[in-house]
Every structure is written in structure tokens, then in C-alpha cells.
Structure 1
């Protein structure tokens, strides 16, 4: 089942969503000064310990435009629930998406309800979210840029050679230090090769994979807001993207894409989170719909 076929069947309207200088003083009196690179590395290590996360996403992605989303996820087992609204579509484009036991469930006002046979959800499998770029599969419903695990995406700044402190800022009531730097795929590759430990090397391998999924053309700018507890509270990714285009009988061509600008805010970390599949009686099997479409 291809993403294009999925989108034609599923979505109403037949379209798919497709530096090392000293850091600022910590507000805690007596806290030692650390370099920006050290602060970012500590936050990355803590992000690896995230087992569940409640987060918010705002910004723009290629092909969809402005979006807002709120999601919860678990790492073991890997599950996710997201409510997303594409606000640049000129009409109501709300979706609720869940990933449970490698099955994706989709509902919302963007669904073509005529194909649901009176039910509220579509299901599709196999479907994977939050893994490597090659493994993720949301059939074109989620933009590639939010198919990745945000806890992993937040560690990409560790590969920056120009990370610097911007200053102190408050994020959702929490005092943070704001850092900024730029990253390229070559920079992540160099950080991977220079990693001093297996854990650091694995982090850079994951970061390079996440960078690839973003389809960044050139340089990615990342802002990272870190609390006094060395935990990431928010990060922002900005950059130009590339796209693949092909015409009938023509080879695949890489062209300039649209800008990416996404902000992820961590609302709750490592809090009990339960994500369940919708009732089977209220779920339509997408596979049967695709078979009908392809037969027609």
C-alpha cells in the first residue's frame, strides 16, 4: 500500500498532508559555569532517558504550511497519540492519529467520511512512528518532519560547532537558558566519527538519521531551551528543504522545497501515559478500501 493511494482513499478532497564560549550564569546561586557545548551535551544525555513525553508542536512544514499539534508518546512499547490541525488549508483540516502495536488509526474532520461506512476511524498497518527515517511509515498522513521522536530530534544540536548562549528566558513558567547553533549533515557525520564513547556515537548516528528525515538542504538552525535541571524544555528547527519530483517517463529530480520552521515544547516528561487503540467496532480497515480503489 503506497502513501499516495492511502491519501486518495483517506483524506477528504483527495490530497495528502504530506561555539565554546561560557554559558550564561545559572539562576541557581553557586552553580558552576559551563560551556554551551557542555550544557547541550548534558541535555542530550537526559533526553535519552525519556520514556514518555507530552509535547506541543507549532510552525510550518513543506507541503502543508502552518500546523499545530499536541501529542503524547511512550518509548516502551512505542506508542503515540496526536491531535493535529493544518491551519493554512483554507478549511477545517483536523486529524487525530494514533500508533499502537504498529497499526495507525486516523480520525478527524479531514477524513472522507463517505468511505468510513458509518465508523469514526480508519486503520492501516504496518505503520511505524518515531523510529529511523527508513522505518517510519504514516502513509503520507503525517509530515516527515514530525514522524521522528522529538526526544531524539532535540539532541541534534550536540553536533554544532558554533553553539552559543542567547540568554535567559522563561518557557511555560520554567526559567531556561536559550542556546542556538547550526548543524549540517557533514557536521553530524564528523561528530559521529569523533565520538569518544559508544553512547555518544549512537546519539550522533540517530541524529544523522533524524536530520535526513527533515530533508534539509544545507544548514539547519536549532534553538534549544534548557532548564536548570539540565533537561530540554523546548527546541526549534529552521531550514530550507529539498524535495523529490518526477514526471511520467522522467528520472527522479531533486528540487528546492519549502522552508521548515517547527517548535517543540515539552509539557510533561516521564509521566504515566496510556495510549489505546480505538474500539474495533468503530474502525474501518483501510486495506479493504485501497483494494477497492486499485481494482477500480
Structure 2
């Protein structure tokens, strides 16, 4: 696990990435069954569209992620996020050389903070956190920047990712299930970028077009193989909100010559544990934090 840089931070990219790779190599709800039956007057497509609108109206979320991420393998994470301002705190297992050791990641104030073994940087006086900025999480795919610490598929907001199924050409209802103590209705479908663009063009109002546009953006951020389908399952609770969703597809990347190559299967399940909780993300203490950018600048000018 390490940082990769680009855009406005290009001047630090080569040195910053090398430093961070060395440094981070050893890095460290609902209780009872609730919910009501789905509205029998809604078709599966209508129920999924309503869930997209209702879920993206949340201002904060506590959630869990499990599954397989290409080039990382099995991961498990629990996180809390807020929308305005955009903040996130996550503990994730499955990254780095010590894959069974959880790492805490925070996004706050336009910066990324990561628990790290800072000894690789030299004399850092026993500090336990690394800082990189500018950092962006949960925004549009082109804007997100976690410096390679998070897999690309975890850089997007799960609130928006949950809306992708609304752009499927056909949605089917597969039954009712209890998810984390909540009664839900299970929907499923297959999504392609072509289908999402068609759904966006066919949207009858501005709000729906924006939802479809944001869903397409998050679909592209999953790095799926060109022309392939994304299989998506969505579990909707009695309040008409997403309770869980699962994403499955084949991903691609670029080799050293810029050619597209397969990078393996994606299979992630997001479970929403609490809607609109109180979320307060604070940066680590300054005297326990190493600023990667400042160190790189010192090395270049020293």
C-alpha cells in the first residue's frame, strides 16, 4: 500500500510515491428486525429509482464493506462518512504487506491521514500518522484522490454507488430477506455504461438526470473491463432506502505500454449500518503527524 500522486501534486509524485511505499509497507445499526413490506404499487424499477432518490438524501452514514478488490484481494472495512463537509473515517483490513492488520484512514479538511510506520522516513520522533494533501474522497471520479492508499473502488461515496442499479435496463425483484436485523426487498440487475447513458438521456426531469449522471460517474470509477456488465444486487428497507448493495464485475487496468489488461474480479458488498448518525472526524494531533509533502519538498531543496 502506498501513495500515488498526480494533478496539482505532480511535482511531488515520484519521490512522494517512493517514500510512502516504504513507509506504509508495514502499516499497521440495527438490532431487532424492523421494516415494512414494499409498496405493492411500485414496479421493481420504480422501487429502485425511489431508493436512489431517498438514499442520496442522507447527510451521513455508518457502513461496512466486505469482499474482493482487484490487486488487493480480500478486504473488510467499517467506516463513517459525512456529506457536507465531506469527511470520512475508515478502519480497513487487507491493505499493505501486513494484510491482517487494520489500518485507520481519515479524510478531513481536504487532507488524507493514514496510520503508518513512519520510521522509513528517518527520524520522525515516533510519529504514527502520515498526511497527504490535497486529498478528495466521495466526490466525482475525476476529482477523487487518495494517493493510492485506498483502492479506486472505495474512493466513491457508497450513497451514490448505491444508485447505479437505477440505470439498469431491466430490474427484477428476487424476494424478501432480513439484512442486519432489517426486513428488506431484494432487487437485481445488470448494468453497462451504454445502458446508463441511455437511462440518463431518457430521464424525464433534472433531478433524475443528475442521479443517472452521478451513477454513471461512479460506475466508471469501478474500472470495469470495457464493454463488460456489472452485476448489481440492491436490498431496500421499508423506508425505501438502500440497506445493502453488492457489485460484481471484471476489471481492467493499463500495462506499462498503455494497453488495457485484465486485473481480476471485483466483488464488494456494502451494508448500511446507520442512517444519518452523528459523524465527527478530527485530524490526528499535529505533533503525531508526518507531512509527506513537506518532507518531499525538503528533500528536493535540501
TM-score surpassing 0.5? yes
CA distance change for structure 1 residues 193 and 30 in 2, over 3 Å: closer, same or farther? closer
Deviations 1:262-292 (A, max 9, x none): 0000001112111111111111111133346
> Compared with structure 1, are the counterparts of its residues 238 and 272 closer, same or farther at alpha carbon in structure 2 (3 Å cutoff)?
same
The offset of 1:209, in angstroms, is 0.8
**Residue 134 (structure 1) aligns with:** 142
Q: Which runs of 5+ in 1 are unaligned?
A: 18-26
Q: How many Å separate the matches in 2 of 1:30 and 1:275?
A: 35
Match for residue 226 of structure 1 among 229, 232, 236: 236
**1:8–1:16 CA contact under 8 A, matched in 2:** no
Give the RMSD, CA atoms, in angstroms: 2.4
Aligned residue pairs, count: 281
CA distance in structure 2 between the aligned counterparts of 1:285 and 1:175, rounded to whole angstroms? 46
Query: Residues 9 and 289 of structure 1 are in contact (CA less than 8 Å); yes or no, is this contact kept in structure 2?
Result: no
- Matching residue of 1:255: 261
Corresponding position: 1:193 with 2:190 = no
Q: How far 1:93 sits from its partner (Å)? A: 4.4
What TM-score results when the alignment is normalised by the length of structure 1? 0.88
Shift of 1:87: 6.9
* 1:3-22 alpha-carbon deviations (Å, 9 max, x no partner): 665443224577699xxxxx
| Residues in 2 aligned to 1:120 and 1:88: alpha-carbon distance in whole angstroms | 16
CA 87–29 in structure 1, closer or farther in 2 if over 3 Å, else same: closer
Deviations 1:14-37, CA, capped at 9 Å, x for gaps: 7699xxxxxxxxx84795342110
**Aligned equivalent of 2:126:** 118
User: Is 1:287 the equivalent of 2:287?
Assistant: no
Distance, in Å, in 2 between the alignment partners of 1:37 and 1:152 is 17
How far apart are residue 162 of structure 1 and its match?
2.1
Aligned to 2:282: 276
Shifted more, 127-136 versus 115-124: the winner is 115-124
What is the TM-score of this pair, normalised by structure 2? 0.86
Output the CA distance in 2 between the equivalents of 1:144 and 1:95.
17
Aligned to 1:214, what secondary structure does the other structure show?
Answer: coil
Query: Aligned partners of 2:38, 2:219: CA distance in 1, in Å?
Result: 37
Q: Does 1:144 align with 2:152?
A: yes
Does 2:61 align with 1:53?
yes
- Kept after mapping to 1: 8 A contact 2:243/2:271: yes
Structure 2 equivalent of residue 32 of structure 1 = 40
Instruction: Please give the residue correspondences for 1:204-219 in structure 2 after superposition, counting only pairs within 5 Å.
Output: 204-217=212-225, 218-219=228-229
C-alpha deviation, 1:293, in angstroms: 6.3
Q: Tell me, yes or no, if structure 1 residue 170 matches structure 2 residue 178.
A: yes
CA distance in 2, matches of 1:30, 1:63: 39
Are 1:65 and 1:88, in contact at CA under 8 Å, matched by a contact in 2?
A: no
In structure 2, distance between residues paired with 1:262 and 1:113: 33
* Preserved contact between residue 4 and residue 139 of structure 1 (Cα < 8 Å): no
SS at match of 2:268: strand
1:254 Cα deviation after fit: 1.0
Cα distance in 1 for partners of 2:275, 2:148 equals 28
Which sections of structure 2, spanning at least 5 residues, go unmatched? 7-12, 28-34
Between 219-228 and 86-95, the greater mean CA deviation after superposition: 86-95
Which has the larger displacement, 79-88 or 167-176? 79-88
